[in-house]
Amino acid sequence: MNIFKNKLLIITFVLASSFAESAELALSPEQLKTANLTTITVTSRENASRLKLTGILTADQRKSHRIAPVVEGIVTALQVVAHDRVNKGQVLARLRSNTLGQAQADYLEALSLFQLTQTEKTRIAGLSREGVVAESRLLKVNSEYKTARANLEQRRRLLSLTGLSETQIKALAEKPDFLAEFELISPIDGIVSVSTIESGQLLSAGEAAFHIDDLSSLWLEVQIPVATLSLVSVGAEALIQVQSAPGHPFHGTLQSLGGEVNSQSQTLAGRIVVANLDGQLYPGMYAEVSVSGVTNRSLMVPASAVFRIGDQAYVFKALGDGRFEPTLLSIGTETDNLIPIHSGLEIGATIVINGVAELKSHWQYQGGE
């Protein structure tokens, strides 16, 4: 018996709901005048969907530099520390290296030998033209010259690999007191994000001393739900908001999408490049982002036209002569005070956009939902 009653109640509810959805609302001329209604004709327009995500700002790895000595050395002077701003070409630290000193000494020795063989080659060539020396002597001197030149070039390349410039290498013969000294130089304008050394510390070749980041642009790492992947594409424009600058959006671009979906969260990693020329953004910040999606034509109505009852959305169609029809809709996500209509309306329909609350009250009073 209870099952029968429950089924009867469900049928009654469905019939009542169907009646309410299709029932017309009629207003008298006096009611129309006081309601102060405004209507529009439904049209289609381009609708660019927007996907809302959250993420964490990180340094742009393409603009981050790891600074390390190419030879072992002891830090003799520390010029900067973490969080300092630096300019391109600025000295970060000075080091003394026995390894570098030996390499420079070997270069100077090779340079001296080359100069001697070059002088001897010139002298013997002159004597050979006068017939004073044998040809075998000339061949031997030329061979010694070529060997000395190759050895000098090898020593020069080794010095170049240690980080010395051509100018520094050429000036070695004039400053033997500084043979073992070299500097770590900033390759960019930026900020020292990491400094791991102190004066007197021995650094191994390749051991990181500093990390320098150019923060003129940052990365925003986001996770995009698989169900929304069709809405976005690489190159999409993004608007970023952070708590430290409410109401001030930052502009970015979706640079790349990951190559593998996270099996647990069913999301795909995305990377947004964010311009930060005024320096208001910092790595580690939490950010909200709105990414522009695909653009298509769809029916769009002002948000003021749509009213809700429970989880259902309606508009009032204006039928003329004071008659209005509450119409159930399937809608999309609101963007810029406009709501896309998936079903329930057609182009050319007239709907109410102002005075909706007044009509809703009349409708419910007359037996609507």
Q: Residue 166 — very low, low, confident or very high, per pLDDT cuts 50/70/90?
A: confident
Helical H runs in the chain? 2-22, 29-35, 98-129, 135-161, 166-170, 356-365
- Spans of all domains in the chain: 25-47+297-365, 51-62+214-296, 67-96+180-213, 98-178
User: In Å, what is the CA distance from 144 to each residue of 49, 111, 131?
Assistant: 76, 13, 21
> Which stretch of 8-12, 201-205, 221-225, 285-289 has the lowest confidence by average pLDDT?
8-12
Q: How many of the other CB atoms lie within 10 Å of CB of 357?
A: 10
Q: Residue 9 — very low, low, confident or very high, per pLDDT cuts 50/70/90?
A: very low
Q: 219 forms bridges with which residues in the sheet?
A: 58, 273
* Whether pLDDT at 4 is above 60: no
For the domain made up of 25-47+297-365, give the CATH fold: 2.40.420
* Whether pLDDT at 3 is above 70: no
* Whether pLDDT at 184 is above 80: yes
> Which stretch of 119-128, 198-207, 233-242, 261-270 has the lowest confidence by average pLDDT?
119-128
**What pLDDT does residue 149 have?**
94
Strand pairing class (237-242; 210-213): unpaired
**CB proximity list for 124: less than 8 A, separation 6 or greater:** 133, 137, 138, 141
**What pLDDT does residue 14 have?**
40
Q: Which amino acid is at 326?
A: P
353-369 mean pLDDT: 82
* Whether pLDDT at 232 is above 50: yes
Q: Residue 308 — very low, low, confident or very high, per pLDDT cuts 50/70/90?
A: very high
Considering only the top CATH level, what class is 51-62+214-296? Answer: mainly beta
Comparing 298 with 226, the larger pLDDT belongs to: 226
CB 298 within 8 A of CB 19: no
Q: Residue 161 — very low, low, confident or very high, per pLDDT cuts 50/70/90?
A: confident
334-349 mean pLDDT: 88
Q: What is the pLDDT of residues 258-272, one digit of tens each?
A: 999 999 999 999 999
How high does pLDDT run on average in the chain? 87
**What pLDDT does residue 176 have?**
60
* Whether pLDDT at 178 is above 60: no
**What pLDDT does residue 169 have?**
83
Q: Is the pTM of this model over 0.75?
A: no
In angstroms, the CA 111 to CA 159 distance is 13
**What pLDDT does residue 326 have?**
94
229 exposure class (CB count in 10 Å sphere: 0-12, 13-18, 19+): middle
Q: Residue 125 — very low, low, confident or very high, per pLDDT cuts 50/70/90?
A: confident
**What pLDDT does residue 236 have?**
92
The maximal CA–CA distance of the chain, rounded, in angstroms, is: 135
For the domain made up of 67-96+180-213, give the CATH fold: OB fold (Dihydrolipoamide Acetyltransferase, E2P) (2.40.50)
Q: What's the gap between Cα 144 and its chain centre?
A: 58
In angstroms, the CA 302 to CA 50 distance is 17
CB 86 within 8 A of CB 190: yes
**What pLDDT does residue 80 have?**
97
**What pLDDT does residue 30 have?**
87
Phi, psi of 31 (to 5 degrees): -65, -40
Percent of the chain with pLDDT over 70: 91
* Whether pLDDT at 8 is above 80: no
* Whether pLDDT at 228 is above 90: no
